[in-house]
Amino acid sequence: MRNRYYLIGYMGVGKSTWAKKWAKASQLPIHDLDALLESRLQMSIYEYISTFGELAFRKQEREEIQRSATLEGIIAVGGGSPCFYDNMDVMNAQGETIYLHAGVGFLSERLRNSTVAGNERPLLKDLDVDMYPEFVGKHLLERLPYYEKAAHRISVEKVDVLESLLSLTRPYIK
């Protein structure tokens, strides 16, 4: 029985939101890889990348993924986490991986709304919102081979996401 679930997918797909809903409905503990990193690094990811660069951040992220082997429950990971080093293989070995999938239009609109609301995303900081669809389309295509290594795929636009997530844990929850 596995008690560790990694929720992966592109930025803006709703990993953190669905992780919270799933945790509440299943009564499983929830962990956010970015929050764990920020706590350990004593600064926001945005600040860390701005100060030390993306490569340094990806090394720290890799260490946090390895540390997550001691955690139980649902772990929401950053959109790029599966795409560096052997992170996807490590997550697959340590638990169940679930890829939350959405199309470019859906993701672009979610990211546009997030930007307008004041949420900073390092990858989008110098990009005009009108360029989001082109950027997301290209970027998602590059990341897809990593995301598709997940044990499970859930389309957030087409199915009852919470019911799909709960079906993964139902055999283990009493």
Please name each of the domains of the chain with its CATH number: 4-167 (3.40.50.300)
Q: Which two tokens stand for residue 24?
A: 């509440």
pTM: 0.93
Q: Which two tokens stand for residue 84?
A: 């560096």
Q: Which residues of 99-125 are buried (b: 16+ CB within 10 A; e: fewer)?
A: bbbbebebbbebbbeebeeeeeebebe
pLDDT in tens, 99-136: 999 999 999 999 999 999 988 787 898 899 999 999 99
DSSP string, 60-112: HHHHHHHHGGG--EEEE--TTGGGSTTHHHHHHHHSEEEEEE--HHHHHHHHH
